Every structure is written in structure tokens, then in C-alpha cells.
Amino acid sequence: MKKALVAGASGGMGYALVGELVSRGVEVVAFSRGKEKLEHLYSNMPNVTIFSGDALNQRELNEAAKGVDVIFHAVSFPYQEWSEKHLQCIDNILEVAKTQRAKIALVDNIYAYGMQAKKIVTEDTKKEPHTKKGKIRLAMETRLKESNVPTLIVHMPDLYGPNAENTILNETLKSVVQNKKANFIGSTKVAREFIYTNDGAKAMVELALRQDTYNQNWNIPSISPITGEELIAILREITGYKKAVRVVSKNMIRFIGIFSPFMKEVVEMMYLTESPVLLCGEKYEKEIKPLPHTSYRQGIQETISWMKKKYQ
């Protein structure tokens, strides 16, 4: 891989992927709608070309993808727009990949697995999504697999890290940095997975650089599950934060959803805060190498440092 396109480069995972690709000597096209944010993130980064465009516009996407070997799909949409936009986006990326004879690497989450009897899932676990968003993610996966385009489908748990702003943990971290009263979504006593974006990017780029990893699914778990109580304790030690942290329950989100279309869509995913789906990374470690694992303390410290530059 000499040249790659990162679609969704202004997001948290896109930002981490651009950085990792550049560190491996890959020329990168950073593609997203917000030109100003792209310039803020990448204007001083060597070997990165900024291309402002819309992934729903096939002409713009094709122009950005000229000469690339791999298209990294890290595009995200607000929950309430998933039904309308995600499948159109995957169709556009498939058409552009065919035109450019490029491969596709999809940043995926765990929604397609659905509610599992066994909490730890492997790549062979049958996907039986019971939510609208899980069914959309499975439909995206199916379209990739039914195409003739070499594809990587990489499942990761909830993200956190520098520039990862549209994540379940970001609002907690942001409030702590601003020394405001913080919310934590879901029980603080249930252990869940949160992956540091830089770890996810390292594992994904490693897969994308190889020839025998395509047309497969890969699970990239976090270093370990962690409870909200443990996360909050780390935050307090790092920052000296002393305010109370309010636990946001499913019923609270359901009430807020009466007034907020986005929060209304969050309700159906709250099962993951009550009965988390955890990823098994044995396939990656057996066939590739040990997974990159940044400790929660180090990952949160680096994220907080990045956020302080923005919010303080």
C-alpha cells in the first residue's frame, strides 16, 4: 500500500488512521466534508493531502480516490440519519473502489452481533442483530461481501481518544476537562470495552498492509473490559476532578428522547451498557501479532491532554 484514502478523516478513528498510515510511510488523502477542520488537523502533517468532499457524492469521492490502493471507510452519521445515508455511502464507496481498483477497509462496531447469549464473540459468531442500527451495519457488511472488491471488515468496541468527539465516553471526558458536572451513560458497575483509537488504527493498518487478510472479518478488542467506577477513578487521579458524576439510565435517555431525535435513537443501543458484547481477539493474535494495547490510564491521559488544548 503506497497511497490510501481515509473517508471520515475528521472523526476520531479517521484521525488515528491518518496518523498511523503516515507513520508507516503511506501517502494519505484525508477526506471529509469540513475543510476547516481538515486543515486544523492535517495542515502541518507531512504526506497528507486534504480533500474536502461528501462521501454521499460519488463524483467527489472518486476524485479524491484517484490512484489509491485502499479506501478506509471511517465515515459516521448521526444515529437518526443512519437509515437514509449509511447504505448509500457504502454503495458509493464500492463503486469508487471498483473504478479505482482499490481495496476497502471498513471501520465497524459491534452492533451487527446483536444481543448474544455468550458475551465474548469471535469472528465466527452468528450475527443476529435485533436493533435497527445493528441491521443496517449487517446490511453494509453483506454488500461488501457480495461485491468483487477485496474488503476488510474490522469490528471494534466503543472508541475513545484524541478527536473522538462523537463517542459515548467523550461527553464524560469533556465535562471533566471543563470541570463541569459530568454524566456517565449506563451503569458504572458493569464492565464494558472501550478501545483507544490509536490502538484500533495500528491493528487495522497492520491488516490493510497484508495481502492475506482481506475478505475476512477481524475483531479488535480493547485491552480489557472496565467498569465506569474504574474509569472515573482513573479520571479523578489524572485530573483531580472532584465533582459528582451522574449516572444516566435508560429511562432518563428515553425521557430526553421525547425532545431529542438523537437521544431517541440512543435508547435501543442501551442494551450494550447492561449486557455488553465483548470481542475475542484470538484470531488476530494467532494469525498476525500481539494486539496493540495502551493502558486505560495512558490512553485517557493522552486524550485528556489533547482535549485540554481544545477546551481550555
Assess if residue 305 is contained within a domain: no
Residue 80 confidence class, pLDDT cut points 50, 70, 90:
confident
For 105-164, the pLDDT digits (tens) are: 999 999 999 998 888 999 999 999 999 999 999 999 999 999 999 999 999 999 999 999
Whole-angstrom Cα distance, residue 242 to residue 177? 12
- Least trusted range by pLDDT, from 23-27, 182-186, 226-230: 182-186
Residue 312 confidence class, pLDDT cut points 50, 70, 90:
low
Segments forming the whole domain that contains residue 33:
3-163+194-222+277-294
Q: What confidence score (pLDDT) does residue 186 get?
A: 92
Whether the per-residue pLDDT at 288 is higher than 70: the answer is yes
Number of domains in the chain: 1
Residue 303 confidence class, pLDDT cut points 50, 70, 90:
very high
b/e for 234-245, b at 16 or more Cβ within 10 A? bbeeebebeeeb
Q: What confidence score (pLDDT) does residue 262 get?
A: 66
Distances (CA, A) of 36 to 10, 11, 33, 63, 308: 10, 13, 9, 19, 20
Identify the bridge partners of residue 71 per DSSP, sorted by sequence position. 5, 104
Assess if residue 231 is contained within a domain: no
Assess if residue 176 is contained within a domain: no
DSSP readout, 263-286? Answer: HHHHGGGTHHHHS--EE--HHHHH
Q: What confidence score (pLDDT) does residue 257 get?
A: 67
More confident residue, 171 or 192: 192
Assess if residue 148 is contained within a domain: yes
- Least trusted range by pLDDT, from 101-115, 198-212, 218-232, 259-273: 259-273
Assess if residue 254 is contained within a domain: no
Whole-angstrom Cα distance, residue 304 to residue 299? 9
For 239-250, the pLDDT digits (tens) are: 999 999 999 888
Assess if residue 173 is contained within a domain: no
Torsion sign, CA atoms 106, 111, 115, 118 = positive
The answer to whether the CB of 267 falls within 8 A of the CB of 250 is yes
Assess if residue 210 is contained within a domain: yes
Domain CATH number, residue 99: 3.40.50.720
Assess if residue 59 is contained within a domain: yes
For 1-52, the pLDDT digits (tens) are: 999 999 999 999 999 999 999 999 999 999 999 899 999 999 999 999 999 9
